[in-house]
Structure 1
Amino acid sequence: MGYLGAVIGAGFASGQEIIQFFVVYGSDGLKGTLLATFAFALCGGMLLYLAHRHQVSNYQDLLAGLMGNKGGKLIDWLLAAFLFLGISTMLSASGAVFEEHLYLPKSLGILLTYLMVIFFLFSGKKGLIFSFNMLVPVKILFLLLVTGYVVFFMESQALGSYSVYLCPVNSRFWIISSILYVAYNFSLAMVVLSEYQSLSNCREGIAGAAWGGLMLGILVVLSYLSLCKFLPAIMHYEVPMLYLMGRISPGVKQFYTLILWIGILTTAIANAYGFTQRIADFSGLGFGSCLLLCMTLSLPLAMQSFSSLVGKIYPVFGLLGIIIISVLLYQGIKDMALLLYYNIKN
């Protein structure tokens, strides 16, 4: 569940990520969602395999084991920059929900998420695990129910002319877009998923991460199909999934607002935990003090548009995720090949 919670955040639950990485490619976007499903399951299982094999329970040690001390530190600091920007993005997302759908001040949404992240994380790792175990199951179950309902029981409202809103570039780019989506999401998921190494044995950890990736892929597919039913109307909203929920009923929309905010909060928690942990290790200051400092420094950027932040920040750091995934898969396949070789030899 921690894997899912780290990935299914504001961009996913709002529908912005699904639109920008899949919907804009039309029918090719569906192939992209299937590719992402396979990649999430594979990478999740491989990460837990390596975490158990090398007995590491934080992402810094995992990066050092995969890339060496120098390479690991470089990627670590680049990832830290992404985590910090991710905090601002999640705060901005909270503000967008409050402003666009609750008709409340954007600053109120930002402040509430700011305070809740501090509340959950002040105790460090225990707070991270507690918040994810409490919030993520509710979020996953409701997302499956509502997207499944839209896909299988609602009539399509798509207009024949919606193709003008789709990506004008070569359709082959859907592969790159899908890989970027998995890459930048996995960078964040790695921060949380590596913490679960000490909470499970090797076989259970690998199976749980792989099944989590598969479930995430199913949610991506359902979200893609449900959003496509309402093109081009959804392109005009920063939080298009709430528009879809409003088409079901006002009550569902109101409840989904809560689910969306939980998605924002859990992703903000994951970003804040990873970044604060890194700053605390580097500075020698207490985790609580660093948490307050990091959250406060993220406030100015949070006033920017949420959709703008998703579009500019996430694809760039997807390139960082591609490096991490490439090394992860290479090292995982290498370790398993060597293990198989020694078993056959002996």
Structure 2
Amino acid sequence: MEKRTWKVLQIASTYMGTIVGAGFATGQEILQFFTRFGYWASLTITLSTFLFIWLGSKMMIIASEIRAKSYEDLNIALFGVRYGTIISYFMLVILLGVTAVMLAGAGTIFYEHWDIPYQIGLLLTIAASFLLLRKGMKAILAVNAIVVPVMLLFTVIVMIDTYQRPGSGRFLTLATDHSPWAAWASPFLYTAFNLSLAQAVLVPLGAKIKDRKTIALGSWVGGIGIGFMLLAGHIALSLHMPGIQQYSIPMGGIAKQLGYSIQFIYVFLIFSEIFTTLLADIYGLTLQLQERLKLSRQWITFSILVICYCASQIGFGPLLSTLYPLFGLISMGWLILIIRKRITHLRS
């Protein structure tokens, strides 16, 4: 029983750490996908939570049943060899792009918050990534075991502070000029983008777990945790609307009001979220390329880091604004396909 509980917590923490990335820490994802839609946001966050529980569990159970070595194996099992291979090529490009964005973001954190040159920040992040990824999935589980409790601590502190302020229930009545159609499309876009990227680490994680009940429980705990953090961020941001939309890092403005120690936790949280996403993406890329190239894992990991280092010279902002809209569109197509697919088809 204790062993199952530990595995459930490992799945849940890795799920939360992979999904609730740097976008949550900065507040931009919550603001763009939920808070700007006013009182609709509480309901759309609930829908996103349901989708994360359902589709995250579905993805990992399928990976467990077929013993998938990488996300390409999952896509081929779901969509056939032809379309599954095409989708996997798209995911390869997406993951490379997102990895470059995360690396650039890490370098920016070093420069803007710790007064360390951008290039040195990139190299330090690359070195740490390479050393940790030599241990494979164990490294990702260990990093998330540290980062996720810090995320939850920060979320609880923000929640407590928000409820002590006048107007804490404003999220229930917050007006919006956006249409209900846009509001209800948003959770699907948010779930699609995050889950399509998360498969890089959730597929090999699910393949290592043989017990379906453990996977399902882990998805429930992880999905509810994601929903709780999204709702907490939304409630805090709603209190400061519409002025909070002026900030490039909305949660930064809230963190400053809570004192130096909370601000330190916040900066650590942003870097940690970037770092966990970076590790997960590189790990997934390495597993897929290893099947094709038959090279050692260390050489593939090193090559990916070099490519992303070169791409990160473009800068965090330009990479983010150029690549993410394209990735969102492709991810939505992937989400529709995986919703329509039934697990029973695979067994037959």
Global fold match (TM > 0.5):
yes
Aligned to 1:98: 110
Aligned to 1:89: 101
Q: Distance in 1 between matches of 2:90 and 2:150?
A: 29
Aligned to 1:344: none
Q: Distance in 2 between matches of 1:238 and 1:135?
A: 27
Which residue, out of 145, 148, 155, partners 2:159?
148
Which residue, out of 196, 199, 217, partners 2:205?
196
Q: Distance in 2 between matches of 1:235 and 1:81?
A: 31
Q: Spell out the pairing of 1:88-127 with structure 2 (5 A cutoff).
A: 88-127=100-139
1:43 aligns with 2:55: yes
Superposed CA deviations along residues 110-139 of structure 1, whole A, max 9, x for unmatched, are 33322221121123334333433x334333
Provide the secondary structure at the position in 2 that maps to 1:298.
helix
Aligned to 1:278: 288
Distance 1:223 1:194, change over 3 A: same
Distance 1:122 1:333, change over 3 A: closer
Distance 1:92 1:280, change over 3 A: same
Aligned to 2:7: none
Provide the secondary structure at the position in 2 that maps to 1:172.
helix
1:305 offset after TM fit, Å? 5.1
Q: Distance in 1 between matches of 2:228 and 2:318?
A: 26
Aligned to 2:9: none
Aligned to 1:328: 338
- Tell which deviates more after alignment, 279-288 or 212-221: 279-288
- Tell which deviates more after alignment, 268-277 or 72-81: 268-277
Aligned to 1:217: 227
Aligned to 1:242: 252
Moved over 6 A (4+): none
> Identity of aligned pairs, percent?
25
Provide the secondary structure at the position in 2 that maps to 1:320.
helix
Structure 2 stretches of 5 or more lacking a match?
A: 1-12
Which residue, out of 178, 187, 191, partners 1:182?
191
**Cα RMSD (Å):** 2.8
1:259 aligns with 2:297: no
Give the aligned residue type for 2:53.
A
Given that residues 64 and 209 in structure 2 are in contact (C-alpha distance below 8 angstroms), is that contact kept between their aligned partners in structure 1?
no
Provide the secondary structure at the position in 2 that maps to 1:238.
coil
Aligned to 1:343: none
1:311 offset after TM fit, Å? 4.2
Superposed CA deviations along residues 18-40 of structure 1, whole A, max 9, x for unmatched, are 12222232333333222211111
Q: Distance in 1 between matches of 2:335 and 2:284?
A: 18
- Tell which deviates more after alignment, 235-244 or 42-51: 235-244
Superposed CA deviations along residues 162-206 of structure 1, whole A, max 9, x for unmatched, are x9xx98654421222221111010012222112222235111111
Structure 1 stretches of 5 or more lacking a match?
A: 340-346
TM-score (norm 1): 0.85
Distance 1:20 1:214, change over 3 A: same
Superposed CA deviations along residues 87-114 of structure 1, whole A, max 9, x for unmatched, are 1111222233334433443334333322
1:308 offset after TM fit, Å? 4.9
Give the aligned residue type for 1:318.
G
Q: Distance in 2 between matches of 1:285 and 1:333?
A: 33
Q: Give the total of aligned pairs.
A: 332
Distance 1:307 1:5, change over 3 A: same
